[in-house]
Amino acid sequence: MTDYSVGTDIGTGGTKSVLMDGEGNVLGSHYIEYPLIIPRPGWAEHNPEWYWNAVADTIKASIKESRVSSKYIKAVSISALSPACILVDKNLNPLQNAHIWMDRRAT
């Protein structure tokens, strides 16, 4: 059986995952969009839970679309928007929304 890989991009407007064979052919893909939170002018935020949920859901949907058993996935690559500041507590739970690259509070 061929080995497969999953690639995921966590972007400003949403997250996309693709499942590919060893030749780079896309066998399944899925995209989930999320909104930008702008509580005040110059601020730009996301709910950090959106990232986790979107990664899990887009990967699951890509696998389902491809009809490839997950036991044959040998590699996973994740790319994420940068910089994004996510403050967490000692249990790694987010303390507030993520301040993303568009946020101007520190400039």
Domains present along the chain, CATH in parentheses: 4-99 (3.30.420.40)
Cβ proximity of 29 and 16 under 8 Å: yes
* pLDDT reading at 107 higher than 90: no
CA pair distance 8, 27, nearest whole angstrom: 14
Q: What is the per-residue pLDDT across 70-90, written as a single tens digit (0 to 9) for each?
A: 999 999 999 997 778 889 999
What are the CA-CA distances from residue 51 to residues 8, 30, 58, 65, 71 (Å)? 11, 14, 10, 21, 24
Pairing of strands 14-20, 4-10: antiparallel
Cβ proximity of 17 and 4 under 8 Å: no
Res. 60 pLDDT band, cuts 50 70 90: very high
